[in-house]
Structure 1
Amino acid sequence: MHDSPRVGASDPMPEPASPGPVTADDLDLAVRLAVAALRAAPAAAWDDRAGSLEWDCWETVEHLSDDLFAYAAQLGLRTPPLTANVPFLWESRRPGGPANAIHADRAAGPGGLLQVLEASGALLVSMVRTTPSSVRAHHIFGDADPEGFAAMGILETVVHTYDLTEGLGLPWSPPADVCARVIARILPDVPQDTDPWPTLLWATGRGDLPGHPRRTSWRWYSEPRP
């Protein structure tokens, strides 16, 4: 038998394997899993606060839907904007509530609210799937390509679903491989070799990570990197 190769003191450490690009399929899966998890919520719980947020659970789903819709809109123009967002009117329904262009009809109940979320997610999935990778569109954290918008949409989906499931008393754990791809794409300043889901919660100020202080501020980097 041959001896296994050894890494000597002068040998470079191997680079960790790339988790691969973020895809439209990743985004579709994240939204589908979120909607499925939230369908288990009791109807009376939607007015409860969403985890550590100042919004209730209904408002948080509207905010998430609005994020996904807005990202799709940024990619939707023949010449996407590079200096501003597409100028939809965003407004809050109450002081301190999220400023959204998307609001769900309360008369449709939680089922209708989740239809709004699913439809908004589908719009972004479609735009990511059909927009050329060379396209760039404005975001305050860096002009992004379709992969960047997919990663942003997934991050918003999984962390706000975490907020929601905390408020609604439901379990939630998104796929580790999807979280790893999101971290690699838009969170290059966080550890890349730790458990992806706890790392994503820590990166967004929602959890602890051994050996790292709790985060009180954070951002992502949506511009494509060389």
Structure 2
Amino acid sequence: MPRSSDAVTADDLDTAVQLAVATLRKASPDAWEAKAGTLEWDCWETVEHLSDDLFAYAAQLGPKAPPMDGEVPFVWESRRPGGPANAVHANREAGPAGLLQVLEACGAMLVAMVRVTRPDVRAHHGFGASDPEGFAAMGIVETLVHTHDLAEGLGLAWEPPAGLCARVLWRLFPDAPRDTDPWPTLLWATGRGELSGRPRLTSWRWHGSPRG
């Protein structure tokens, strides 16, 4: 995989979210209770979790003085034992179309915050205090890999653009190999596959702090 030092942008994040929503709209309306890939959540819960991730990243950048010692203190709670602990939950009566509207709206919030936040701003994340570019990259990774989980559960094809994967790998996964295809490499780096004879990772993290 060629070195990619291009900045991750709000446009990249918007592209990831729009591609994910377009793919998920192809799912059968009765398929959303299936498990999402190797996750313990069903597909509906996984979209709620992804939406919540995007919302939470936008919230971190929102205050004039972003928090550096923790997350903005929304209430995150599960709707069932073992379910994802979210601040964002979609109205089930709105059906899959409403669920995907929630995802698109939360993605748009993060896109907007990345666009308007100064690049020197930093905010807390458990994997390293990050800048707007970092939060955009995190949002893209969440979107790409959880759409992979969802595509497995919903029986859909999903392969995001290689350039997009390469940019977030460069920004967040400095130890990932650079001579392999970007999408399989991102799946490997997030514990979702093997790569060139490498075993599947049993633990993983990204590095959110800005790269020097």
Quickly name the TM-score band, shorter chain normalised: over 0.9
1:38 corresponds to: 24
Q: Is 1:218 paired with 2:204?
A: yes
8 Å CA contact 1:21, 1:181 repeated in 2 = yes
Query: Residue 36 of structure 2 aligns with which residue?
Result: 50
Partner of residue 12, structure 2: 26
2:152 corresponds to which residue?
Answer: 166
Give the corresponding residue for 1:116. Answer: 102
TM normalised by structure 1 equals 0.92
Q: Measure how far apart 1:18 and its partner are.
A: 2.9
Q: Which ranges of 4 or more aligned residues in structure 1 deviate by more than 6 Å?
A: none
Q: Does the Cα contact within 8 Å between 1:35 and 1:114 map onto a contact in 2?
A: yes
User: Aligned partner of 2:35: which letter?
Assistant: R
TM-score when scaled to structure 2?
A: 0.98
Preserved CA contact (<8 Å) 1:134 1:145: yes
Q: 1:68 aligns with which of 28, 34, 54?
A: 54
Matching residue of 1:147: 133
Q: Which amino acid aligns with 1:151?
A: A
Give, in angstroms, the shift of residue 19 of structure 1.
4.1
* 2:158 equivalent to 1:179: no
Do the aligned partners of 1:19 and 1:177 also contact (CA within 8 Å) in 2?
no
CA distance in 2, matches of 1:91, 1:214: 30
2:79 & 2:95 partners in 1: Cα distance?
A: 17
Q: 2:29 corresponds to which letter in structure 1?
A: A
**Separation (CA, whole Å) in 2 of partners of 1:21 and 1:193:** 20
Query: Which protein has the larger Cα radius of gyration, Structure 1 or Structure 2?
Result: 1
Give, in whole Å, the separation in 1 of the partners of 2:51 and 2:4.
30
What residue identity is the alignment partner of 1:126?
A
Structure 1 gaps, min length 5: 1-15
Count of aligned pairs? 211
Superimposed CA distance per residue, residues 79-109 of structure 1 (whole angstroms, 9 cap, x where no aligned partner) = 0000000000000000000000000000000
Task: Map Cα deviations across residues 122-164 of structure 1 (whole Å, 9 max, x no partner).
Answer: 0000000110000000000000000000000000000000000
- Distance between the aligned counterparts of 1:70 and 1:55, measured in 2? 19
Please provide the CA RMSD for this pair.
0.8
Name the CA distance, whole Å, in 2 between partners of 1:158 and 1:51. 13
Distance 2:56 2:3 in 1: 32
Q: Note the C-alpha offset of 1:213.
A: 2.1
How far is the alpha carbon of 1:187 from its aligned partner? 0.5
